[in-house]
Amino acid sequence: MRRSGLGLACLVALTAACDAGEIQQSPAGRLEAQWSGADSGKISAPATAEWCADRLRLEIRAIQGDTGLALAVYPVDSVVPDSYPVVEPTRADSARPSAGVGLRLFSQTAVKGYRGDSGTVLLERSGTGQVSGRLTARARGVPNGEQIRLRGKFERVAILPQQRGCTPEAPDTGPDTTDDAEPVDGQVD
């Protein structure tokens, strides 16, 4: 089964990041966001930023309890202050400059994931190797398509070299037969 590279990468990164022992938070870096629509809520948490030079990708993540928000910024060749349009995860890597957004949260009865499909990540960079910026995006639920609107900001997040997952993605080699495969088009057998 085909998977969305960014959507899967964001959800995997958010899942892995829930283990607080794996994250080294920047004491100054912070991300705050709120969303409304099919779900509503907010996050205000320490943030991390990792630069993957091999993939030319900046990942900014924040985790608060069971909620996580990740931004993947795809510049043309280096991290520069700019306005990065939020695009669907399947296009983010190839439609540079662009950004991807992933939100994972727990509702009363289920884990929910949302992927951004429109909006903007405005990135600012200071001379000290930190990034700040703002986010406005529409996101759709996986797999049900419910919509939310996200608004947020991140401030003084130090950029570090990426610790994990900074390798070129392997080309899609056909059907995925692993047990953790996602259903196609939200269908469950």
Model pLDDT for residues 62-106, shown as the tens digit of each residue: 999 999 999 999 999 999 999 999 999 889 889 999 999 999 998
Q: What is the pLDDT of residue 1?
A: 38
Question: What is d(CA 79, CA 82) in angstroms, rounded to the nearest whole number?
Answer: 9
pLDDT band at 146 (very low <50, low <70, confident <90, very high): very high
Question: What is d(CA 32, CA 38) in angstroms, rounded to the nearest whole number?
Answer: 19
Is a pLDDT exceeding 80 seen at residue 28?
A: no
Q: What is the pLDDT of residue 93?
A: 86
pTM as predicted = 0.75
Is a pLDDT exceeding 80 seen at residue 186?
A: no
Q: What is the pLDDT of residue 128?
A: 81
User: What is the number of other CB atoms lying within 10 angstroms of the CB of residue 163?
Assistant: 12
* Domain boundaries defined on the chain: 26-164
Mean pLDDT computed over every residue of the chain? 80
Question: What is d(CA 113, CA 36) in angstroms, rounded to the nearest whole number?
Answer: 14
- Interval 112-116 mean pLDDT: 96
Question: What is d(CA 157, CA 131) in angstroms, rounded to the nearest whole number?
Answer: 5
Most confident of 61-75, 99-113, 155-169, 172-186: 61-75
Question: What is d(CA 17, CA 112) in angstroms, rounded to the nearest whole number?
Answer: 16
| Alpha helix (H) residue ranges in the chain | 5-17, 89-92
- Interval 5-23 mean pLDDT: 41
